[in-house]
Chains A and B, each alone.
Chain A
């Protein structure tokens, strides 16, 4: 029996979408198993490159990987199928929650549960900073601290952090290249 490619892509990424709890890096192994192992759409070495590229591009990793694999296998149609696969599970679940959550939110049991979870969320957001900071030099950490303080006090959009960081990095790369040519 011959499967239709967009359907295969949709189904593979649907499965990935259903099991990517918490998002981020937990699902890389799952994607690899499905895309490299089972379907053999991408080779092992290409998969590593793909991860680097998916991290270069903005947006969630699962979505970026879906676009890459889908587009590679079946062009625009494939890209769209695999994106739908990733999006549909989370969309359905969150919409269902949104439909009912406002009715339950002020129930005192629900409120108590969330009162326990809120400080945990703040801790989970802040904890990865330590892991990320380990890979950076002291001057980069200083940049991060200054950027954080300025954004906090002035209150401008964090979009500017990305813009300034990208421009700074580009200028440095340009300067380094020029210097390399002269010497």
Chain B
């Protein structure tokens, strides 16, 4: 049952999605590319590119997109998007209710401290999985990678960087 699989995968992505977009990326990769083979790695890379240039968090965007692609129906998008939102909604409502009690809790702080290096590892993993031969097919792609990497460290706007690389791609490859 594809809808159930989709729902469970995105529920998992939502529930363990600590550390924001890029950390969630490794969860998305694992479920969608490695485990279920719903889309290819370069298709996921394309979704991230599109996601950078359109409003909304990557996890939501990927849920909507992959839900549609996998089921060929709008309902797939609806199911995956609801699934990825559910854990956030439930946990945030609990957190809001126990706001004061949780505010300075040493165990929550401890868990967060322990998770911080892991979030770093997850981002590294997401990046490592994206290093495919399809994406880095020639020296030009390495140049684009290097320039964007350095520009991003200098805090150049990521939307601009993606757009410029798209233009470069058009001029070089088309």
Instruction: Mark B112-142 against chain A: 1 for CB-CB distance below 8 A, else 0.
Output: 1111111111111111101100111100011
CA distance A176 to B107 in the complex (A): 10
Asked if B92 and A165 sit within 8 Å, CB to CB, the answer is: no
CA distance A70 to B131 in the complex (A): 40
- Contact partner of B162 (CB less than 8 A), chosen from A102, A124, A162, is A124
Check A162/B118 contact, CB under 8 A, given A58-B91, A116-B172.
yes
Asked if A125 and B57 sit within 8 Å, CB to CB, the answer is: no
Asked if B56 and A90 sit within 8 Å, CB to CB, the answer is: yes
Instruction: Mark A7-22 against chain B: 1 for CB-CB distance below 8 A, else 0.
Output: 0000000000111111
Asked if A128 and B22 sit within 8 Å, CB to CB, the answer is: yes
Tell me the minimal C-beta distance from B86 to chain A in angstroms. Answer: 9
- Contact partner of B64 (CB less than 8 A), chosen from A23, A24, A94, is A94
Check A94/B65 contact, CB under 8 A, given A64-B92, A118-B135, A169-B114.
yes
Best-surrounded residue of B12, B25, B95, B124 (most CB of chain A within 10 A): B124
- Contact partner of B54 (CB less than 8 A), chosen from A83, A97, A152, is A97
Instruction: Mark A48-82 against chain B: 1 for CB-CB distance below 8 A, else 0.
Output: 01000111111111111001100110001001000
CA distance A79 to B124 in the complex (A): 34
Query: Which B residues touch A1, using CB under 8 A?
Result: none
- Judge whether A122 is part of the interface by a CB distance below 8 angstroms: yes
Asked if B114 and A168 sit within 8 Å, CB to CB, the answer is: yes
Asked if B173 and A112 sit within 8 Å, CB to CB, the answer is: yes
Q: Please, how many residues of chain A have a CB less than 8 angstroms from a CB on the other chain?
A: 96
CA distance A55 to B116 in the complex (A): 11
Asked if A170 and B16 sit within 8 Å, CB to CB, the answer is: no
What residue in chain A is nearest B41 (Cβ atoms)?
A118
Tell me the minimal C-beta distance from B114 to chain A in angstroms. Answer: 2
- Judge whether B38 is part of the interface by a CB distance below 8 angstroms: no
Tell me the minimal C-beta distance from B165 to chain A in angstroms. Answer: 4
Tell me the minimal C-beta distance from A118 to chain B in angstroms. Answer: 4
Query: Which B residues touch A120, using CB under 8 A?
Result: 49, 144-145, 148, 161-162, 165
Q: What is B's interface to A at a CB cutoff of 8 Å?
A: 12, 14-18, 20-22, 24-27, 30-31, 34-35, 42, 45-46, 48-61, 64-65, 68-69, 74, 77, 81, 84-85, 87-89, 91-93, 95-96, 99, 102-103, 106-128, 130-131, 134-137, 141-142, 144-146, 148-149, 152-153, 158-159, 161-162, 165-170, 172-174
19 pairs from A and B in contact (CB 8 Å cutoff): A21-B55, A22-B52, A57-B88, A57-B95, A59-B92, A60-B58, A95-B64, A98-B77, A112-B172, A115-B169, A119-B144, A126-B149, A143-B118, A148-B125, A157-B31, A162-B16, A165-B115, A165-B118, A166-B114
